[in-house]
Structure 1
Amino acid sequence: MLEFTKKTILRSLAKGVVLAAATTFSFGQPAFAESPFHTGVWQLNTKDGPRGLVVSDWLVFEDGLPKRWLYRRAGTNDQNQFDFFTRTINDSGYTPVGIRVYRTGEHAMKYTLAPKGEEPFEVTAERLSIPNYKNSCLSVEKKGNRFYRTWNGTASSNLKKMKLSKSRLTVDGDARNVTVEEVRVGRMGIMEDGKPLAFLTDAGGDYAVLQWFKPGVSVEQMRDKEREILDFASEEVVRNPGGDCDRQIASRLKAMK
């Protein structure tokens, strides 16, 4: 598992690494009518100067790509505060660091990282994007049709190109006959011969994550909205080649002071 500690975080911030898009699953609660308040582009005010933070509904990015899933911690959330467990893409369990976002104003929040066994690290943050904008490119709401397209591979995938339709999945020229169903807002379940094959999960922005199941995952597990599958055969980050969100994010980050 990639070490994700306070020292790593501070080192990343010192280098100006942009954290982007944080994934939050509702664990059986109703989907948000709007994206949660932390979704957007932010300026983190660190002792070493301003740093960028980009958060979708569901993932934290590093180096411009989805990197760390956020799982909302039950019983610790209200409209102004969310506590998360985290998991690095392609790891099989939670990372030993928690994240808390606490709204302090319409365009401000506190962002806290809490590595296990260490003192929490907290900074203030100012929003650079419009909160809960109806057509925000970082939101995953009501975008089911966006899955049915051609996707390009990224530095965080082994595949070069994939295409998904309602009856076929093609990866680097290898086509499979499949069925596809929405298992929750922002996530499609893909089955081959009636057996679960993969999730395609909206990562927000221009990205999605193809999550290949290990053998033995049942249809009931695939459809379960209460329990998350954490252990996959592999997870591959793909990008919509016609997407415009990366450009919009870059434009917002230029507004940092």
Structure 2
Amino acid sequence: MATFAATGFSVTALAESPFHTGVWQLNTPEGPRGLVVSDWLVFEDGLPKRWLYRRAGTNDANQFDFFTRTIGDPDYTPVGIRVYRTGEHEMKYTIAEKGKDPIEVSAVRLSIPNYKNSCLSVENKGERLFGTWAGTTASTVKKLNVNKTSMTIDGETTKVSVEPVRVGRLGISKDGKPIAFLTDAGGDYAVLQWFKDGVTPELMRDPKREVLDFKAEEILRMPSGTCDRQIASRLKAMK
């Protein structure tokens, strides 16, 4: 079972989201391209796609380096990402694929700075993970409802124990055995992460270690969410 001592997920709630969180215009040689990033994930084709794990020891006030992992994969991808702040709403965005020359482009923010109540933020969302979620094209689950004592998937209810294990993440146990995380993906989305055997309660609750290898990761959407519309509106501003 792969685990990783990472600093990619914040342990304590912060006053605002990281600098990279938001909707951006990448100025590529082929023309402008949209980039959507929540606190913890890069979106692709409208859905959360790549987890970001901040590389320890490489960050100062302006530079942030990340390992990446594609949802559903057990290992890091051979692609690293660097964000370098060049202004209040500007950055250099570098993709470094193993064995290839890094590709660096400039980027300008299309969204307002993502403070604690912004739609792509993961921080300070309270108990938003409890409630009803709908399946997406990236899930086998059609409908999920979670409260503190039960989980209902597509009409089948299971008695469980649900507890916050860090900001933006619930740990779900059945008969004392950890079975899944429900993790805030930012925007309108969350990811149901089914554990493989071997995850202990201590590991589930550990705020400093990341489990990388899951039985499955299901992307779910909040039916009442409005962030998708806000993102689409921002992307229309590209020029």
Same fold (TM over 0.5): yes
Equivalent pair of 2:10/2:167 in contact (CA under 8 Å)? no
Q: Which residue of 2 aligns with 1:81?
A: 63
Equivalent position to 2:84, from 102, 116, 122: 102
Distance in 2 between residues matched to 1:30 and 1:194, nearest whole Å: 26
Tell me how far 1:133 sits from its aligned partner: 3.2
Equivalent pair of 2:15/2:115 in contact (CA under 8 Å)? no
Equivalent pair of 2:74/2:214 in contact (CA under 8 Å)? yes
Equivalent pair of 1:27/1:227 in contact (CA under 8 Å)? no
Name the aligned partner's letter for residue 232 of structure 2: A
TM-score (ref. length: structure 2) = 0.95
Equivalent pair of 1:25/1:70 in contact (CA under 8 Å)? no
Distance in 2 between residues matched to 1:226 and 1:143, nearest whole Å: 20
Structure 2 vs 1, CA of residues 52 and 28 (structure 1 numbering), >3 Å: closer, same or farther? closer
Equivalent position to 2:37, from 38, 42, 55: 55
Distance in 2 between residues matched to 1:134 and 1:112, nearest whole Å: 26
Distance in 1 between residues matched to 2:19 and 2:112, nearest whole Å: 10
Q: Which residue of 2 aligns with 1:145?
A: 127
1:172 aligns with 2:154: yes
**Equivalent pairs, count:** 234
Equivalent pair of 2:7/2:55 in contact (CA under 8 Å)? no
Distance in 2 between residues matched to 1:240 and 1:27, nearest whole Å: 21
Q: Which residue of 1 aligns with 2:136?
A: 154
Q: Extract unaligned runs of 5+ from structure 1.
A: 1-23
Tell me how far 1:132 sits from its aligned partner: 2.8
Tell me how far 1:78 sits from its aligned partner: 1.9
Tell me how far 1:134 sits from its aligned partner: 4.0
Deviations 1:34-76 (A, max 9, x none): 1011100000001111100011101011110011101000001
Equivalent pair of 2:117/2:124 in contact (CA under 8 Å)? no
TM-score (ref. length: structure 1) = 0.88
Q: Which residue of 1 aligns with 2:180?
A: 198
1:113 aligns with 2:101: no
What secondary structure does 1:221 align onto?
A: helix
Equivalent pair of 1:25/1:58 in contact (CA under 8 Å)? no
What secondary structure does 1:136 align onto?
A: coil
Equivalent pair of 2:93/2:106 in contact (CA under 8 Å)? yes
Tell me how far 1:27 sits from its aligned partner: 5.8
Q: Which has the higher contact order (CA 8 A, sep 6+)?
A: 2
Name the aligned partner's letter for residue 35 of structure 1: S
Q: Extract unaligned runs of 5+ from structure 2.
A: 1-5
What secondary structure does 2:86 align onto?
A: strand
Distance in 1 between residues matched to 2:34 and 2:15, nearest whole Å: 26
Distance in 1 between residues matched to 2:204 and 2:165, nearest whole Å: 8
Structure 2 vs 1, CA of residues 217 and 142 (structure 1 numbering), >3 Å: closer, same or farther? same
Over aligned residue pairs, what C-alpha RMSD do you find? 1.4
Equivalent pair of 2:130/2:145 in contact (CA under 8 Å)? yes
Name the aligned partner's letter for residue 201 of structure 2: V
Structure 2 vs 1, CA of residues 164 and 234 (structure 1 numbering), >3 Å: closer, same or farther? same
Q: Which residue of 1 aligns with 2:20?
A: 38
What secondary structure does 1:175 align onto?
A: strand
Name the aligned partner's letter for residue 99 of structure 1: I
Equivalent pair of 2:188/2:226 in contact (CA under 8 Å)? yes
Q: Which residue of 1 aligns with 2:228?
A: 246
Distance in 2 between residues matched to 1:170 and 1:133, nearest whole Å: 33
Equivalent pair of 2:116/2:123 in contact (CA under 8 Å)? no
Distance in 1 between residues matched to 2:144 and 2:156, nearest whole Å: 9
Identity of aligned residues (%): 73
Equivalent pair of 2:9/2:40 in contact (CA under 8 Å)? no
Equivalent pair of 2:20/2:37 in contact (CA under 8 Å)? yes
1:223 aligns with 2:224: no
Tell me how far 1:148 sits from its aligned partner: 1.2
Distance in 1 between residues matched to 2:206 and 2:222, nearest whole Å: 27
What secondary structure does 1:248 align onto?
A: helix
